């Protein structure tokens, strides 16, 4: 990696170590969050967003806005779902088409002869005022375009909006290239998991895996809300540790039903109610899933094992499979029930996310329930089936939960 001339040694050193830190994150959403934070620290930008190339359009994928959003929680705007064509009519489309960075001092004073226009509809809806903009391509190795990053409203040390300066603009390509490589890796990880789940649970190559993405996203956001309350209470763990855990929970929660790979179609896809024997075999998916991760070599494996095994346990007891001393034996002996914090936090969170999604969605064996009825059940089961602290975190981010549902819709719904 070469640092352009004129870049201060201090800035260069900081940049190199922070770019390196991108490699510590596995999930693409966490990587996008870190990339935007870094780009905004370098340029002083108040806001920014990232669009990723998907099916030949630019899909809006992440946003920060210090003026509009609270700093410590995820805003539902992160899960907004829209795309921009890759053509020269918009700013981000132009950057994707030409591969050239655009630095704009006033978005509302663009020369009308330029091919692209500033789309002010977001400002109109949000009350935000966009002025300066720096929009650059995210290209990985072999010049593959991964996406476009747009930084908005650079501020000087007293907080006034100013044009983006030359020094920061010259450093950004280094970040952009490394960011693009990290983002590609994050996308590949998610796609591997989605493919694995298509085989395990659905055995249907046309299935989009939307519900798997939803359970992952709900779980990560519930965890972040849960953790935020602990940071504010001054509990030991720091924000970095929580962010790393949220990164792992999203991926591990996507795999919660991986053990369904061992459940025959006649049970898994049965259109009606399961009888006792069938349900007994179905319960086995928790142990089968845990076995996939028995040789845990990473924190992610450990979390996958915890979630697979425990996501149908209940806070007050009576869930399944319970305490099982040896997961490798085919006729397992349940020695006792699990309750409360016997059940790992990650599994308590995924358990709630899974039930919420199962209830609001159609299944081969049931109609979807209306939202209100689902929320009533979750309240009623707080302290019984569900950990009350997890229920509280879920209710506090209900608007984000709805935005996630909207973003990851089932095909044909
Ligand atoms: P799933 O469809 O992903 O459902 C996950 C969990 O959501 C269920 O775990 C249950 O806790 C909750 N849930 C789903 N539907 C309802 C409902 O109508 N009422 C209530 N109160 N809770 C509901 P559970 O029961 O341990 O089931 C695990 C898995 O077993 C289900 O995953 C599904 O794949 C299968 N399953 C359960 N019951 C039936 C059934 O009657 N017919 C078929 N074909 N499959 C079933
Ligand atoms: C959009 O938000 O639609 C794209 C913004 C732009 O014109 O760059
Ligand atoms: C944790 O603090 O990460 C786990 C505590 C719990 O299980 O509630
Ligand atoms: Fe399950
Ligand atoms: Fe499930």
Q: Work out the number of other CB atoms within 10 angstroms of the CB of residue 5.
A: 6
- Nearby residues of 130 by Cβ (< 8 Å), 6 or more positions away: 47, 107, 108, 118, 120, 122, 123, 152, 153
Which atom of ligand 1 is the closest one to the Cα of 282? 30
Establish whether residue 282 lines the binding site of ligand 1, counting it when its CB lies within 6 angstroms of any ligand atom.
Answer: yes
Question: What mean pLDDT is predicted for residues 33-46?
Answer: 94
Query: CA quadruple 398, 400, 403, 408: dihedral positive or negative?
Result: negative
* Confidence check: pLDDT of 344 > 50: yes
Establish whether residue 119 lines the binding site of ligand 2, counting it when its CB lies within 6 angstroms of any ligand atom.
Answer: yes
Please give the distance of CA 381 from its chain centroid, rounded to a whole number.
26
Confidence grade of residue 229 (pLDDT, cut at 50, 70, 90): confident
* pLDDT value for 257: 93
Ligand 2 pocket test, pick from 150, 152, 153 with the greatest ligand atom count within 8 Å of Cβ, gives 150
* Confidence check: pLDDT of 335 > 80: no
Establish whether residue 358 lines the binding site of ligand 1, counting it when its CB lies within 6 angstroms of any ligand atom.
Answer: yes
* Confidence check: pLDDT of 304 > 80: yes
Rounded to 5°, the CA angle 313-305-273 comes to: 45
* 149 alpha carbon, closest ligand: 2
H/E segment holding residue 47: strand 45-54
Instruction: Give the C-alpha separation, 38 to 347, whole Å.
Output: 32
The region of weakest confidence among 102-116, 160-174, 252-266, 314-328 is 160-174
Mean pLDDT of the chain: 91
* Confidence check: pLDDT of 49 > 80: yes
Establish whether residue 179 lines the binding site of ligand 2, counting it when its CB lies within 6 angstroms of any ligand atom.
Answer: no
Question: What mean pLDDT is predicted for residues 369-384?
Answer: 98
The region of weakest confidence among 41-45, 291-295, 308-312, 328-332 is 328-332
* pLDDT value for 9: 72
- CA of residue 285 to ligand 2 center, whole Å: 45
* pLDDT value for 1: 47
Let me know: does 215 contact 351? Beta carbons within 8 Å. no
In angstroms, the Cα distances linking 124 to 23, 70, 84, 105, 296 are: 37, 20, 18, 19, 50
Which residue's alpha carbon is at the smallest distance from atom 4 of ligand 3?
345
Out of 65-79, 191-205, 322-336, the most confident range is 65-79
- Closest to 163 (Cα-Cα) out of 136, 134, 122: 134
Which atom of ligand 3 is the closest one to the Cα of 230? 2
* Confidence check: pLDDT of 93 > 90: yes
Rounded to 5°, the CA angle 222-406-363 comes to: 85
270 is catalytic: no
- More confident call, 71 vs 134: 134
Ligand 2 pocket test, pick from 92, 108, 149 with the greatest ligand atom count within 8 Å of Cβ, gives 92
* Confidence check: pLDDT of 235 > 90: no
Rounded to 5°, the CA angle 240-182-217 comes to: 60
CB crowding 225-236: b at 16 or more within 10 Å, else e: bbbbeeeeeeee
Question: What mean pLDDT is predicted for residues 386-405?
Answer: 98
Which atom of ligand 3 is the closest one to the Cα of 237? 2
* Confidence check: pLDDT of 207 > 80: no
H/E segment holding residue 215: helix 210-232
- More confident call, 187 vs 204: 187
Confidence grade of residue 251 (pLDDT, cut at 50, 70, 90): very high
Query: CA quadruple 271, 276, 279, 281: dihedral positive or negative?
Result: negative
The region of weakest confidence among 138-142, 273-277, 334-338, 389-393 is 334-338
- More confident call, 382 vs 242: 382
* pLDDT value for 234: 59
The region of weakest confidence among 1-10, 271-280, 391-400 is 1-10
Establish whether residue 366 lines the binding site of ligand 1, counting it when its CB lies within 6 angstroms of any ligand atom.
Answer: yes
In angstroms, the Cα distances linking 21 to 15, 30, 33, 229 are: 10, 12, 12, 25
Question: What mean pLDDT is predicted for residues 147-162?
Answer: 96
* pLDDT value for 285: 94
Instruction: Give the C-alpha separation, 231 to 71, whole Å.
Output: 13
Torsion of the alpha carbons at 92, 94, 96 and 98, rounded to the nearest 10: -150
Q: Point out the catalytic residue in the list 71, 198, 224, 260.
A: 260
Confidence grade of residue 413 (pLDDT, cut at 50, 70, 90): very low
Question: What mean pLDDT is predicted for residues 351-368?
Answer: 94
Question: What mean pLDDT is predicted for residues 375-403?
Answer: 98
Which residue's alpha carbon is at the smallest distance from atom 6 of ligand 1?
355
Instruction: Give the C-alpha separation, 182 to 399, whole Å.
Output: 29
* pLDDT value for 5: 59
* Confidence check: pLDDT of 387 > 70: yes
């Amino acid at each position: 990696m070469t640092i352009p001339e004129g870049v201060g040694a201090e800035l260069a050193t900081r940049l190199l170590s922070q770019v390196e830190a991108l490699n510590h994150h596995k999930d693409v959403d966490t990587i996008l969050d870190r990339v935007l934070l870094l780009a905004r620290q370098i340029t002083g930008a108040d806001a920014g967003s990232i669009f990723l190339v998907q099916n030949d359009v630019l899909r809006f994928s992440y946003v920060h806005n210090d003026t509009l959003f609270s700093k410590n929680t995820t805003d539902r705007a992160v899960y907004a779902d829209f795309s921009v064509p890759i053509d020269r009519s918009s700013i981000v489309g132009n950057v994707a088409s030409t591969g050239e960075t655009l630095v704009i001092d006033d978005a509302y004073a663009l020369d009308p002869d330029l091919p692209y226009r500033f789309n002010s509809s977001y400002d109109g809806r949000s009350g935000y005022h966009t002025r300066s903009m720096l929009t650059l391509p995210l290209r990985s190795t072999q010049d593959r375009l991964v996406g476009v990053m747009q930084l908005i409203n650079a501020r000087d040390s007293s907080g006034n909006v100013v044009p983006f300066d030359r020094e920061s603009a010259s450093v950004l390509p280094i970040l952009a290239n490394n960011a693009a490589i990290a983002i590609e890796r994050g996308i590949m990880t998610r796609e591997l998991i989605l493919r694995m789940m298509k085989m395990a649970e659905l055995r249907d190559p046309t299935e989009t895996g939307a519900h798997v993405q939803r359970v992952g996203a709900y779980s990560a956001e519930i965890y972040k809300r849960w953790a935020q309350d602990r940071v504010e209470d001054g509990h030991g763990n720091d924000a970095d540790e929580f962010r790393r855990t949220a990164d792992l929970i999203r991926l591990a929660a996507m795999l919660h039903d991986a053990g369904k790979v061992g459940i025959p179609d006649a049970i898994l896809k049965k259109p009606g109610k399961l009888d006792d024997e069938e349900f007994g075999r179905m319960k086995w998916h928790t142990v089968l899933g845990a076995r996939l991760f028995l040789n845990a070599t990473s924190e992610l494996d450990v979390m996958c094992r915890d979630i697979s095994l425990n996501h149908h346990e209940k806070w007050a007891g009576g869930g399944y499979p319970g305490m099982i001393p040896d997961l490798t034996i085919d006729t397992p002996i349940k020695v006792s029930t699990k309750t409360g914090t016997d059940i790992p936090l990650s599994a308590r969170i995924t358990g709630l996310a899974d039930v919420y999604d199962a209830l609001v969605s159609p299944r081969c064996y049931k109609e979807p329930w209306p939202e209100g009825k689902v929320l009533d059940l979750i309240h009623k089961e707080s302290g019984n089936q569900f950990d009350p602290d997890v229920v509280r975190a879920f209710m506090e981010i209900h608007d984000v939960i709805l935005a996630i549902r909207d973003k990851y819709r089932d095909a044909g719904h």
